[in-house]
Amino acid sequence: MKTYFSLSSHINRTVSEKELERNALLSDLEKTKKALEIAYAGFDNVTEPDLIDCYIYEVNSVLKRYKFLMEQAARLYMLPEENKHISHLCEKTPAAALVSQTLC
């Protein structure tokens, strides 16, 4: 039986708590960005009034989560690296006119 070992298991490397928190935050920001893209795409493709309302609430929800994560990033002094994510939220979409709170 063959056994494979990764190189990282041989290197005695400790990851600090701050690095773990930073990596988790970056992962959450990426997931939230994708969720926002999906919500906007869903909004752009529905015509049923109930579904339009559903996507408006979903976009609002994801934007609030995104705002919270950005505040966490600012607290960790990561904000300059993450400015590229804010520009994505400023794109003009039909949902942007209907969403009551935006970050732009």
pLDDT per residue over 46-66, tens digit each? Answer: 999 999 999 999 999 999 999
Percent of the chain scoring above 90 in pLDDT: 45
Residues comprising the chain, all counted: 104
User: What predicted TM-score, i.e. pTM, was given to this entire model?
Assistant: 0.59
CA distance 57 to 37: 14
Element at 40 (helix H, strand E): helix 17-44
Phi, psi dihedrals of residue 11, rounded to the nearest 5°: -90, 125
CB distance 40 to 56 below 8 Å: no
Q: Is 96 left (phi over 0), alpha (psi -120 to 50) or beta?
A: alpha
Look at residues 92, 41, 40, 84 and name the one whose alpha carbon lies nearest to residue 61.
40
pLDDT at residue 48, rounded to an integer: 95
pLDDT at residue 75, rounded to an integer: 85
Please give the mean pLDDT across all residues of the chain.
75
